[in-house]
């Protein structure tokens, strides 16, 4: 009997050492959760035995329970390195077309694969939701594999140019009919922006401002567009200024208090076509009927320096991925070289009612079981879910000092049970030697 009790103690001590050794071995494993061996005594008594004098029958391993408290953070320069601060797990799937078969993990070391899917080191796909690019609201909580396209958007021809500026009241007066873009003495100020044709080809749009030497508080505005062959006039369909060099411009009339009175004598502003009937640009097959509408937003003439408050257009070329950001809600925002900022999706989080009921699947991943309860899908910072931190990875929750103490304790338990086994063996030998 004593030998069996000592053997059970040896087995328990060995299990404790194995558990502690596994914790120590995974001290640097991202998202790893320490385990704790829990034991129970073995007690049996028959109906005819005296429970007051019956000894136990040894020890047995009740469970090896994982401890799911959070680990510390390690900070990286990779925006796809993620951690959940608070409750929740990331969900990954082996097959992006079968996301119903998935695993839970706290290891947020992700990167882009060759197809720009967000994956972990095992090539499993990070799951998330589609979001509306304008409202940033989740449209459906149906998980899907998250992808970050390296290109975005078809080319979009520029149609509107919005300008907001202040023209200096103290500017020198000039003759608008003498305007020549090659002679800086014929205009007061100029500024430029880029516009695009239907193929996404860029052109430099330049605006020139000339203070009229005849009418007070009146300015003339001319436009040019530059393609690879040089700078060309972009004339208006109905302008009220014409220069000796053939440029057609329009007027901006201000009130004595510096506020806007009329633009182009009250006529709508629209430039001529880009093609052969207009600026005659080298379009390389782009739409030659493209025209620009100029919109001035509250221009002013104050006694202050020239100031360009706004100069924007609504065209775009094909964009290439330049940056990825993930906010605390898990929203993936991609920035492209064409200036587009696009919400590509939101990282999904999963919550479990009974974490101890999860089944380990290796690679710091868990599977849902009947004991764990059903998965509750949601998003960061909603309800009981924590927030997502980008550029941060959760380290293991191992306390190395405590683990070393536990290892020494398990070793001493092993030695003590070994000694008990040895004493039991000696007692048996003594009995066998009695004659």
Give residue 153's pLDDT. Answer: 73
Give residue 47's pLDDT. Answer: 66
261 pLDDT band, cuts 50/70/90, is: very high
Give residue 118's pLDDT. Answer: 97
Average pLDDT over residues 297-325: 92
How do residues 275-284 score in pLDDT, each as one tens digit?
Answer: 776 788 889 9
Is 328 within the bounds of a domain?
Answer: no
Average pLDDT over residues 359-384: 93
Give residue 50's pLDDT. Answer: 66
Distance CA 137, CA 134 (A): 8
pLDDT at 87 over 90: yes
CA distances from 387 to 53, 75, 84, 87, 178 (A): 57, 16, 6, 8, 63
CA distances from 294 to 317, 326, 369, 370 (A): 20, 36, 63, 65
- 116 and 237 within one domain: no
- 87 and 35 within one domain: no
Most confident of 210-219, 237-246, 268-277, 426-435: 210-219
Give residue 53's pLDDT. Answer: 66
- 422 and 359 within one domain: no
Q: Which of 14-23, 162-171, 366-375, 417-426 has the lowest mean pLDDT?
A: 417-426
Give residue 139's pLDDT. Answer: 85
Alpha carbon distance, N-terminus to C-terminus of the chain: 23
Is 338 within the bounds of a domain?
Answer: no
CA within 13 Å, CB half, 290? 26
Give residue 111's pLDDT. Answer: 95
Is 26 within the bounds of a domain?
Answer: yes
Is 318 within the bounds of a domain?
Answer: no
- 166 and 308 within one domain: yes
- 165 and 48 within one domain: no
Please state, rounded to an integer, the average pLDDT across all residues of the chain.
91
Per the CB < 8 A criterion, the answer to whether 81 and 108 are in contact is yes
- 275 and 256 within one domain: yes
- 103 and 178 within one domain: no
| Residue 169 lies in domain | 160-313
Give residue 91's pLDDT. Answer: 97
- H or E element that contains 18: helix 2-25
Is 339 within the bounds of a domain?
Answer: no
Distance CA 229, CA 234 (A): 15
pLDDT at 51 over 70: no
Q: Can you give 269-326 as a three-state secondary structure string?
A: CCECCCCCCCCCCCCCCCCCCCCCEEEECCCECCCCCCEEEEEEECCECCEEEEEEEE
Q: What is the DSSP string of 172-230?
A: PPB-GGG--TT-GGG-SEEEEEEEE-TT--EEEEEEEEEEBSSSTTEEEEEEEEEETTE
Is 131 within the bounds of a domain?
Answer: yes
- The residue among 346, 319, 320 whose CA lies nearest residue 332 is 346
Residue that has been written with the tokens 């500024």 in this structure: 191
- 183 and 259 within one domain: yes
Is 300 within the bounds of a domain?
Answer: yes
CATH code: domain of residue 279 = 2.60.98.20
388 pLDDT band, cuts 50/70/90, is: very high
Query: Percent of the chain beyond pLDDT 90?
Result: 69
- 303 and 173 within one domain: yes
Distance CA 364, CA 162 (A): 53
- 412 and 301 within one domain: no
Is 334 within the bounds of a domain?
Answer: no
* Cα 182 from chain centre: 47
Residue that has been written with the tokens 């069996």 in this structure: 4
- 272 and 207 within one domain: yes
- 275 and 182 within one domain: yes
Count of structural domains within the chain: 3
């Amino acid at each position: 009997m004593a030998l069996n009790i000592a053997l059970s103690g040896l087995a328990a001590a060995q299990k404790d050492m194995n558990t502690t050794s596994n914790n120590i071995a995974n001290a640097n494993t991202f998202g790893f959760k320490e385990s704790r061996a829990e034991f129970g005594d073995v007690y049996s008594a028959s109906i005819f035995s005296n429970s007051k004098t019956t000894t136990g029958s040894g020890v047995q391993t009740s469970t090896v329970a994982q401890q799911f408290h959070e680990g510390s953070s390690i900070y990286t320069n990779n925006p796809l390195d993620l951690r959940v601060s608070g409750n929740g797990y990331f969900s990954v799937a082996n097959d992006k077309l079968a996301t119903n078969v998935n695993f839970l993990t706290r290891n947020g070391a992700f990167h882009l694969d060759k197809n720009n899917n967000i994956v972990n080191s095992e090539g499993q796909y990070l799951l998330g939701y589609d979001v509306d690019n304008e409202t940033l609201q989740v449209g459906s909580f149906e998980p899907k594999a998250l992808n970050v396209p390296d290109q975005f958007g078809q080319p979009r021809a520029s149609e509107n140019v919005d300008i907001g500026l202040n023209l200096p009241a103290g500017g020198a007066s000039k003759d608008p009919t003498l305007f020549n873009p090659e002679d800086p003495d014929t205009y007061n100020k100029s500024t430029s922006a880029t516009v695009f044709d239907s193929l996404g080809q860029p052109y430099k749009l330049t605006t020139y401002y000339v203070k009229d030497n005849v009418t007070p508080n009146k300015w003339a505005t001319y436009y040019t567009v530059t393609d690879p062959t040089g700078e060309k006039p972009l004339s208006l369909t109905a302008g009220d200024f014409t220069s000796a060099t053939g440029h057609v411009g329009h007027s901006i009339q201000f009130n004595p208090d510096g506020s806007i009175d009329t633009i182009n004598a009250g006529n709508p502003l629209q430039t001529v076509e880009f093609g052969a009937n207009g600026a005659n640009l080298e379009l390389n097959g782009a739409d030659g009927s493209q025209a620009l509408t100029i919109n001035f937003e509250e221009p002013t003439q104050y006694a202050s320096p020239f100031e360009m408050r706004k100069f924007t257009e609504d065209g775009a070329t094909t964009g290439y991925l330049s940056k990825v950001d993930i906010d605390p809600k898990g929203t993936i925002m991609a920035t492209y070289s064409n200036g587009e900022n696009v919400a590509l999706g939101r990282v999904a989080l999963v919550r479990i009612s009974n974490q101890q009921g999860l089944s380990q699947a290796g690679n710091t991943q868990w599977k849902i079981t009947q004991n764990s309860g059903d998965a509750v899908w949601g998003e960061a910072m909603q309800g009981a879910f924590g927030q997502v931190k980008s550029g941060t990875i959760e380290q293991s929750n191992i306390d190395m000092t405590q683990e070393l103490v536990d290892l020494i304790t398990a070793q001493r338990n092993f030695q003590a049970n070994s000694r008990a086994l040895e004493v039991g063996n000696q007692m048996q030998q003594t009995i066998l030697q009695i004659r």
